[in-house]
Amino acid sequence: MLATDMVVRDSGLRNYLRRVPPNSVLYMPGLDYGNWHTASLLDYSGNAINGTIVGATTTKHSSGLYGLTYDGDDYTHCAYSAALEVTSVTLSFWYYADNGASGYIAHMPYTTTWSAPPYQAYGCYYAASEFLIFQGNINGSDVDIRTAGGAHPTANWYHCVFTITNGSQIAYVNNAVYGTTTVSGGDITYSGSPRFGIGVRNPDALGEYSEGGVYLLNVQSGVISAAERNYRHGVERQIFGV
């Protein structure tokens, strides 16, 4: 998560990061560097769904940005909260891609049992032969947005925004439409008391860790407006130097 030399110097950018996006149920801007560097990643949404950091390390990237980096066996998990069980959702984050055959980047599980699919209420993962796979669980069935072909990229920043409402899914990468799917009349499905995970498929059973970094993670109830998405992408590009 984020803490940069530039943000420390620029009160305008710091104020931007303290601005909790509308309808946020989870917001982790990484302003609490002294805290999350040791144990916790704080949630600024007001719901106090703080993340417990397991193994992730602090790295200063060439952009001058400090962040939590996952190397294939690290993760962050949040306590269960019904606030995250939304039926209409926007999941957004910046992702610094690294190597890895497959892994879950940011993920709200469908259930805590994991005895049978479907596995994911909403989230994003990747495979060696596919760049990013956005997945929602709509009316008990996994519905994916994916593009086949090509190796997973490395050493690049990607702004990812994923929305689900009434069975309609849209994924944006770097503020351009990456893909869409539609399931008529569908709602997001949940079972049990799942915990939100970063860098891992399931914070309870573990497995399928991702490699790379996840920054400025935000979960909002409802679908972000085009104006808000454009504004946030424009400001955050300056923070990340891309």
Structure tokens at 157: 């920043």
pLDDT attached to residue 151: 66
Report the alpha-carbon distance of residue 114 to residue 195 in Å, rounded: 12
**Looking at residue 139, what is its pLDDT?**
83
| DSSP state string for 86-111 | -SSEEEEEEEEE---SEEEEEEEES-
Confidence at residue 2, expressed as pLDDT on a 0 to 100 scale = 42
- Give the pLDDT confidence score for residue 13 in this predicted structure: 73
Q: What domains are defined for the chain? A: 3-240 (2.60.120.200)
Distance, in Å, from the CA atom of 196 to the CA atom of 107, rounded to the nearest integer, reads 6
Residue 17: closest CA among 42, 39, 50: 42
pLDDT of residue 141: 84
Q: Which residues of the chain have pLDDT under 70?
A: 1-12, 31-38, 58-67, 114-118, 148-153
* Residue 4 pLDDT: 43
What does the pLDDT read at residue 131?
82
- Residues 167 and 182: their CA atoms lie apart, in Å, by 5
Q: Is-above-0.85 flag for pTM?
A: yes
